[in-house]
Amino acid sequence: MYKSKIEAYIKKETEVLRSLDVSAINAVMTAILDAYNAGSSIYIFGNGGSASTASHFQNDFNKGISEHLEKKFNFICLNDNVPTVMAIANDSGYEYIFEHQLEGKLKQNDLVIAISGSGNSENVIRAIEYARKQGVKTVGITGYDGGKLAKLVDVSFNVPINDMQITEDVHMILDHLMMSILMKELL
């Protein structure tokens, strides 16, 4: 009943995977490894499905890779503390939920990773602008045309398709691809 639609989805996703910029993936991995080697914090965040992806990144690096390493990754997912997010949203506005959590915490070699399918979420953009003012390296993980985020960050990984589901699929593949390679590299 759905076989042709399933095949079409898989075909489209396969085409997108083949079109990815391997140099951009390498640049994201290098930024993460540089922060790790410096003993720095890696802040990550997003909204909706991107929030789930950010949480998954944190889990895969803090537990999945770090479990077997003496030196651990220090990923901090800013969308995971619901009371903090809700308090900031209620008292200051939703557009500040990530920026406020970064204020006064960023150190020179920290890394800030923002995930946004559209690349245009105001709260994500505000946090990246703040991080850049602090001189901290930034990474943007996007879809569609990359939006404002792709233009603001130091390192941009974009999934070049106007489809949120495939964009989010590929963001998770990026996480697992990097985790798999770095785990083998660091063990």
pLDDT of res. 187: 86
Would 6 be classed as within a structural domain?
no
Would 175 be classed as within a structural domain?
yes
Structural domain that includes position 152 = 20-186
Would 71 be classed as within a structural domain?
yes
pLDDT along the chain (187 residues), means of 10: 95 97 98 98 98 98 95 98 97 98 97 98 98 98 98 98 98 98 93
Would 145 be classed as within a structural domain?
yes
pLDDT of res. 20: 97
- Crossing angle of helices 3-19 and 164-186, in 10° steps, is 50
CATH of residue 114: 3.40.50.10490
Would 12 be classed as within a structural domain?
no
Could you read off the pLDDT of 135-184 as tens digits, one per residue? 999 999 999 999 999 999 999 999 999 999 999 999 999 999 999 999 99
Collapse the DSSP code of 118 into the 3-class scheme (helix H, G, I; strand E, B; otherwise coil) and give the result: coil
Would 4 be classed as within a structural domain?
no
pTM over 0.95: yes
Would 31 be classed as within a structural domain?
yes
Domain count across the chain = 1
Burial of residue 80, with CB atoms counted within 10 A of its CB: 0-12 exposed, 13-18 middle, 19 or more buried: middle
pLDDT of res. 149: 98
Would 14 be classed as within a structural domain?
no
pLDDT of res. 27: 98
Token pair in block for residue 22: 């391997």
β-partners of residue 44 are 77, 113
Concatenated DSSP letters of 67-87: GG-SSPP-EEETTS-HHHHHH
pLDDT of res. 126: 98
